[in-house]
Structure 1
Amino acid sequence: MNAITPVQARTMKAAVVSGPGQLRMETLPLPKPGAGQIRVVLEGCGVCASNLTPWAGPEWMQFPTEPGGLGHEGWGIVDAVGENVESVGIGDRVATLGHHAYATHDIADENAVVRLPGEFDGQPFPGEPLGCALNIFKRSDIKAGQTVAIVGIGFLGALLTQLCAAAGARVIALSRRPFSLDLARRAGAVETILLDDHWQIIEKVKQLTQDRFCDRVIEAVGKPWPLDLAAELTRERGRLIVAGYHQDGPRQINMQLWNWRGLDVVNAHERDPAMYIQGIRDAIAAIQAGRLDPWPLLTHRFPLERLDDALNMTRDRPDGFLKALVVYA
């Protein structure tokens, strides 16, 4: 838990991205929650790959960011509530969908937090990506006995491997990193393929599926080539699920292939905040039921002052890396 107690706190610290690849820390007055809002003393925040494009400084990016901005995977303890808040109270431990969580405190709407069960005390809980994984899994319509290829085994792909394997699917995991393939096997994948040669991969999957290809293919990279490959691995009348976050420009796709195979294509990114909240609740239930085990996948931790190192590691993805957290102890 954060070392700054609600009684002691009068100010907060927040990270500000001041330019491409540049970070500074600011000390600010502690904000007060308005009606229907809560304030959270944050214990930490997950580092999301969606931060990497803003971190690189594209032309459309405006600097400096708002204090704490880009951070959206926070969790911590409620230390103040505004008027008309009824579902959570001071002292509750929550996952939050606040959007300024690269800071020691954040304000969130009452309906944008989920209370965490006591059995999770002491464990980090970046709720947003966990909820995202559950929402993607639900929209993938995974059934026992299906063959499911997961293209890209980062944090999200590893979570989906666990969920699909627990549902009784035969999982084929594809990644460019041997470390990730080893992890996917431990998560329940029955086959692993190095993500290198396009046509060799297609031939390998043909052999593994008796030329039928896969009932479901989840693309979890966010780059053009893995998306093209994912379509090639999807069987006729199969479902291609786009889980990668494609934020670096337009895509050209092989619509002839998509048409010919009659693919169902699902963009699995939710935009309704209520769906994210439900996903977090579903993730809690999945952990309690033993279908999901996220904690071994949280591989690296940094103090808030080293958010730049956490972002750079998320970008460079060295061997052994899967998910970075910034923690405020």
Structure 2
Amino acid sequence: MTAETMMRAAQLAAPGDMRIVAAALPQPCDGEVRIRLEGCGVCASNLEPWAGLEWLTYPGDVGGLGHEGWGIIDALGAAVTDLAIGDRVATLSGRSFAEYDLARADAVVKLPPALAGKPFPGEPLGCAFNIFRRSDIAPGQRVAIIGIGFIGAVLTKLASDAGAHVIAISRRRSSLDLATAFGAAETIVMDDHWAIIERVKQLTDGALCDRVIEAVGKQWPLDLAGELVREGGRLVIAGYHQDGPRQVNMQAWNWKGIDVINAHERDPAICLRGLREAVDAVASGRIDPTPLYTHVYPLDRVGEALDATRDKPGGFVKALVTYD
């Protein structure tokens, strides 16, 4: 193969071992587009494969783990009529730790001129909008958000703009400062289970919260979320629980009569709707995610980006991997 038919891509060779390989340039099939990627966000869901899960096989797919890409369409498959070469898009595709990726034409959203030159990891932004919709947040509600990372920060902004009284709960002081900047009315350090419950009771006159969004993906935050939701309230599971089974206090959930919402969407049309809403919101200035992109790495340092996502160095919120 010639240089014109090859690309660089990251491949997870083994737990903790990400390698840069030469791979064949993918060719779009009917209804697909090829994107020359500008970058891809790093998702916390990447961390379990990075650490090693016994049911996964290695090496992984070329470009695999990367699912938050954006870039410019450079090739069209047959029957693609509403997109053109040169369109800048955010994509819902799954092999974007690479210089190029393929996506169905109905799984990309054009980025308007207002977003020119700006990074746009559309998949997690779209997720945040879908989670917000499923949360059914109304003005005056007390909303606890557990875990202020990228998704938690965006949800803090959306909920506070909707008129909710947001209580942000997170481990790091920098995360709580971020939540305040994004509209949280109250912040609580996530360090003592029973102290947090008592503090929320104080803030809500004993009523607890109308909505609780768990955005961590671990057992303790899930336990805490169940304690903080009021009778008849709604518990929204936004954290990605992929490292094994969970236990829930069904007795308490039954007694409280709460609604439990798994906010992860698998319907492609709904995922696309969230992405479109995110594009419109950022382009209009309704939300500015720029302060959340705190760490940027080139493709050949994607392993470092994953380590930073795990270890969260000072001020860390989200890592981006960008390509020349």
1:276 aligns with 2:276: no
- Which among 167, 175, 178 is matched to residue 172 of structure 1? 167
Give the corresponding residue for 1:3.
Answer: none
Q: Trace 1:189-208 onto structure 2 (pairs within 5 A).
A: 189-208=184-203
Give the corresponding residue for 1:305.
Answer: 300
SS in 2 for 1:189: coil
SS in 2 for 1:325: strand
1:62 aligns with 2:37: no
State the distance in 1 between where 2:130 and 2:119 align.
20
Give the corresponding residue for 2:85.
Answer: 90
Q: Trace 1:87-166 onto structure 2 (pairs within 5 A).
A: 87-166=82-161
1:26 aligns with 2:21: yes
Letter in 1 for 2:167: I
Q: Trace 1:12-23 onto structure 2 (pairs within 5 A).
A: 12-23=7-18
State the distance in 2 between where 1:76 and 1:306 align.
19
Shift of 1:57: 1.2
Structure 2 contact 42–320 (Cα < 8 Å) conserved: yes
Q: Trace 1:275-294 onto structure 2 (pairs within 5 A).
A: 275-294=270-289
State the distance in 1 between where 2:9 and 2:280 align.
32
Shift of 1:290: 3.5
Give the corresponding residue for 1:213.
Answer: 208
State the distance in 2 between where 1:89 and 1:66 align.
28
State the distance in 1 between where 2:23 and 2:190 align.
46
State the distance in 2 between where 1:87 and 1:48 align.
30
Structure 1 contact 166–291 (Cα < 8 Å) conserved: no
Residues 108-147 of structure 1: per-residue CA shift (max 9 Å, x gap): 1111111111110110000100000000000000111111
Letter in 1 for 2:114: E
Structure 1 contact 37–82 (Cα < 8 Å) conserved: yes
Instruction: Between 200-209 and 292-301, report the one with greater CA deviation.
Output: 292-301
Shift of 1:11: 1.8
Letter in 2 for 1:262: G
Q: Check 1:164–1:291 CA distance in 2 against 1; reply closer, same or farther (3 A cut).
A: farther
Give the corresponding residue for 1:232.
Answer: 227
**RMSD between superposed Cα atoms in Å:** 1.0
SS in 2 for 1:229: helix
Instruction: Between 152-161 and 310-319, report the one with greater CA deviation.
Output: 310-319
State the distance in 1 between where 2:141 and 2:4 align.
53
Q: Check 1:288–1:29 CA distance in 2 against 1; reply closer, same or farther (3 A cut).
A: closer
SS in 2 for 1:119: helix
Stretches of structure 2 lacking an aligned partner (at least 5 in a row): none
Give the corresponding residue for 1:181.
Answer: 176
Shift of 1:289: 4.1
State the distance in 2 between where 1:250 and 1:29 align.
38
Stretches of structure 1 lacking an aligned partner (at least 5 in a row): 1-7
- Which runs of at least 4 in structure 1 moved beyond 6 Å after TM superposition? none
TM-score (norm. length: structure 2): 0.98
Shift of 1:9: 4.2
Shift of 1:32: 1.4
SS in 1 for 2:199: helix
Structure 1 contact 163–291 (Cα < 8 Å) conserved: no
How many matched pairs? 322
TM-score (norm. length: structure 1): 0.96
